Structure 1
Amino acid sequence: MSRASKITFGLSCLLTGSTVVGVHLVQNMERETLHQGPIKDAKRVAEKNQRKLELSQQQVQQPDAAGSDPEKNRQKMLNKSEHQLQQELRKKYESIQPLSGEIVTKGGEAVNNSK
């Protein structure tokens, strides 16, 4: 075999080997990322349940002076807490990617979607 063919063969083998190793590394990273999804979801649900428990304990400690239904008051507190959480998430996501109300099509044309 000539020197050029040996170099070409060696480089081809090296490129093939690094491609195989790279694909396996990417698959392992994706598998780990997918594994973190249920863990994060369980943590989020646990935090939500903890907030509900804290609100119900707070409701028991601070009864309503009007004597209205404590279940309705607890639900109002939960709704208020959920609303505040959603507002914080909205601010966080808008700081990452601001919303303009504009839709950019595949052709690059901007369409205003404000109603």
Structure 2
Amino acid sequence: MATQYTDLELAINTLVTNFHSASSSNADTLTAQEFQNMLSQEMPDMVKTEGDQGGLNKLLKDMGVEEGKNVTFNNFWGLVNSLATSQFGLQSKEKQVKCVKCILL
């Protein structure tokens, strides 16, 4: 009998699988270039670094990646956390605006 995974379980599996498959050498970490390629392919609307070395360097620094070091899954998970928190904030504000509109009507 096949296991039925929830959408959340599938999403977590996708994050882990896509991170590790972005490594050309099957390593546990990604080079800055591999990471940038993954972001441009998998998260093009949420993270824009393609062709912007300065933007990539700032993102890596914000993620806690030391200069010249590879990106770990833990670093990537921090980025996912930040993006999810921002997304929740945006959705929360949209709900507040809708509620204000309801009160005004």
Between Structure 1 and Structure 2, the one with more strand by share is 1
The answer, yes or no, to whether TM exceeds 0.5 is no
**Higher RCO (CA < 8 A, seq sep 6+):** 2
Q: Which has the higher helix share?
A: 1
User: TM-score range with shorter-chain normalisation?
Assistant: 0.3 to 0.5
TM-score by length of 1: 0.33
TM-score normalised by L of structure 2: 0.36
Larger Rg: 1
